[in-house]
Amino acid sequence: MSKKLGIGLVGFGTVGTGVWETLNRNFKLISDRSSVQVEIMRIAVRDINKSRPEGAPNDRLTTDWSEVVHDAQVDIVVELIGGTTTAFDIVAASLRAGKPVVTGNKALLAERGKELFALSLEFDTPIHFEAAVAGGIPIIKTMQDSFVGNRIQSMVGIINGTSNYILERMTDAGLAYEEALGEAQQLGYAEADPTLDVNGWDAAHKAILLATLAYGFTIDPEDVYVRGIEMVRGIDIDFAKRLGFVVKLLCVVREHDNGDIEIRTQPSFIPGSHVLSSVNGVFNAVAVQGDAAGESLFYGRGAGKDPTASSVVADIVEAALGLGHEGGHRGFLPYQKGGKLMCIEDTETPYYVRFDVNDEPGVIAKIAHALADAGIGISGTHSPVNPDNPDADFVDMVFQLHTCRFGLLKETLKKIEQLGCVNSRPVVFRIENL
């Protein structure tokens, strides 16, 4: 006999309609595979008069999310509105009501997960969040279930499709950053306000969730190093190509021998020979290194209506199967009281550094002298004319640097910024040895 359960949706935008369409289209398939029958009983929306797809259950709409949460016919609540304020209230109220929550809200869980997981434990009610990381790629369930017997040594990924598309167009079509961003917005890959995508925080929130799953403790976003792609220029793309690298917005999560966890997000040079270099467009990929499984790669569409809806529906079924489970709920809970994040200043890689300098004698010598005084080795220099203004009286000076501690590099660059020949803050890319 199939278990019959009611679903309450809060949010009926792109993903919400995708969930409704997927449940309707594959109702029998889902029921046959899981012995669960789920039906959307109530939907909270901002504007009840908004035009919606043909056949949408308009008779089940409300503008009051609390009507969804407290409806006796609703067994599972799906939060799809985003943000960290009202969404928090919705999830918290659902957990207090003993109703499992499904959400794709990475910002909410990354920034307020500690509070919500505490409520999940207190009320023995799960939060499921497969759709919060990498769209339709089942990375969350894999981390919780398939890798349960592995110590996770590292996770390295490209998990923001908007930034990845922009960097690809800059690389393949030679577009300037502003042109590539505009194109992404026209195609619907970037929002009208693309801030969270291009400044790195969308990807960073996902990396924080992956690290929480891998190491069992909640992580404060304020302790995480994040840089976006706003400062990437054609000269950086071209230089990377010459060296056999590709520029990607990369998330790195890594456990060190002393137990410290390194977690950072920034545009990086990655080897053209590495599989992540071929992740293009709005696709996502995560390479996971486990002590038993070795390296595994997860690849697929990182966003969009149908891929994200696929993950939401999978979580709905998981939540349905877990209702009434006597051994405790099936959602994730942090299992360590705490852990130690590696200070970003103590991380080490080689670097590419671009300086905006005056065209005058002795510039290379002055910068090289400051680096040498700090004990930072130089593996190469390059001085192309600024491609945006070849007649200007300044150039971009590029230095490739040997592996050193990031804190030492930061201190040294602050001193170099004070040189009269340097016009602005240097732009730094890590060169990753994956």
Q: Which residues are catalytic?
A: 206
Which tokens go with 12? 């009926």
Residue 401 one-letter amino acid: L
Q: How many CB atoms lie within 10 A of CB 10?
A: 26
Helices (H), 249-375: 305-322, 363-373
* CA–CA dist 150, 288 (Å, integer): 11
* CA–CA dist 394, 359 (Å, integer): 5
**292: closest CA among 148, 145, 144, 137?**
148
Residue 367 one-letter amino acid: I
Those residues whose C-beta lies under 8 Å from the C-beta of residue 346, and which sit 6 or more positions away, are: 405, 406, 407
Q: Are the CB atoms for 345 and 410 separated by under 8 Å?
A: yes
SS3 56: coil
Q: Are strands 378-382 and 427-431 parallel, antiparallel or unpaired?
A: unpaired
Give me the count of residues in the chain: 434
Which tokens go with 340? 């130690």
Q: How many CB atoms lie within 10 A of CB 108?
A: 26
Which tokens go with 312? 């939401």
